[in-house]
Amino acid sequence: MTTTKLKRTLAAAFALMGASALVTSAPASADHAGYEPGPEHAATTYGWWHKGVVWREEFEVPYSGARGPQWVAQGNGEVVHQNGMLTLNTTGQGSLSATLDRAGADMGRWETRLRSRRYGRGGANFVVKTELVPAGTNEQHCGAQNIALQSYKIGSSAARLYARNLPDVAFRAQKPGMDLGRDRWHTYAVEVTRERISWFVDAHVVFTERRPEAFSGVPLTVRFTMEAKEGRAMNVSRMQMDWVRHWSLEAPNDLPVDAPATELGRYGKAC
């Protein structure tokens, strides 16, 4: 499906519904018990919920708050607002993404609750990503200033996290011991300040990076991606977001965010 057709599909859906390096690892024991985390998440656990919400997209019909933001789709497949979730349905070839079309912020807290599922067999598995990317007309630099709330291959057991910055630095880590795919829900969050970047998985802080080289100062927005392996036949899959939210840094953290640092490496695709 073309990008233009995807945009039309997305707009129609909203109208209808109401509107390769070493990485540091966090201990698997930091994960919540059970398969359905989400009622307790970083925002409630660390006190962000008290104040400072910038926007919320709950994908509800009718939407319970201010009018939800719009999403711009790109790639092969469809992006739809389905059963209270933003859904990315892939094809058997090529990547698919949905980017939040609004002004970004260089600092703040972002969190989402998502799940993924593989339908096809015999091909390569998609990589499921939630990233903060340069907003609006800011240069993308081939992903060299992206921050990942999570990045994992469907069917794997480790979620990778990273913060990249120019010219080609990458602060990377991974959270092992997870059940990723099979429609298992997880929550992922990142807190970006001038002094540090902290990552949260299922309401637990797992990494905190304090080296100043990790902070780009570029306004960032949310992008969800099902990333294909170039030139390969892919297993048809989907990712679904129950909600995604953005808070300012107004509310102090109720709990410490001390956690292991990430591993410094190089991002070879910077441009």
Instruction: Assess if residue 271 is contained within a domain.
Output: no
Start-to-end Cα distance in the chain = 28
User: Per-10-residue mean pLDDT for the chain, 271 residues long?
Assistant: 43 37 37 47 94 90 58 94 93 97 95 96 97 96 99 97 98 97 95 98 98 98 98 98 96 97 98 97
Instruction: Assess if residue 255 is contained within a domain.
Output: yes
16 contacts: CB under 8 Å, gap ≥ 6: 81
Per-residue model confidence as pLDDT tens digits over 44-65:
999 998 899 999 998 876 555 5
**CA atoms 166, 70, 109, 263: torsion sign:** negative
Instruction: Assess if residue 69 is contained within a domain.
Output: yes
pLDDT at 36: 53
Instruction: Assess if residue 200 is contained within a domain.
Output: yes
How many CB atoms sit inside 10 A of residue 76's CB?
18
Instruction: Assess if residue 180 is contained within a domain.
Output: yes
85-90 and 108-118 as β-strands: parallel, antiparallel, unpaired? unpaired
pLDDT at 181: 85
Q: How far apart are CA 262 and CA 223, in angstroms?
A: 22
Instruction: Assess if residue 52 is contained within a domain.
Output: yes
Instruction: Assess if residue 165 is contained within a domain.
Output: yes
Q: Which domain holds residue 71?
A: 3-266
3-state secondary structure of 143: helix
Count of domains for the chain = 1
Per-residue model confidence as pLDDT tens digits over 91-148:
999 999 999 998 899 999 999 999 999 998 999 999 999 999 999 999 999 999 999 9
Would you say 109 and 247 are in contact if contact means Cβ atoms under 8 Å apart? yes
Instruction: Assess if residue 85 is contained within a domain.
Output: yes
CATH number of the domain that 141 lies in?
Answer: 2.60.120.200
Task: Name the token pair of 233.
Answer: 């036949």
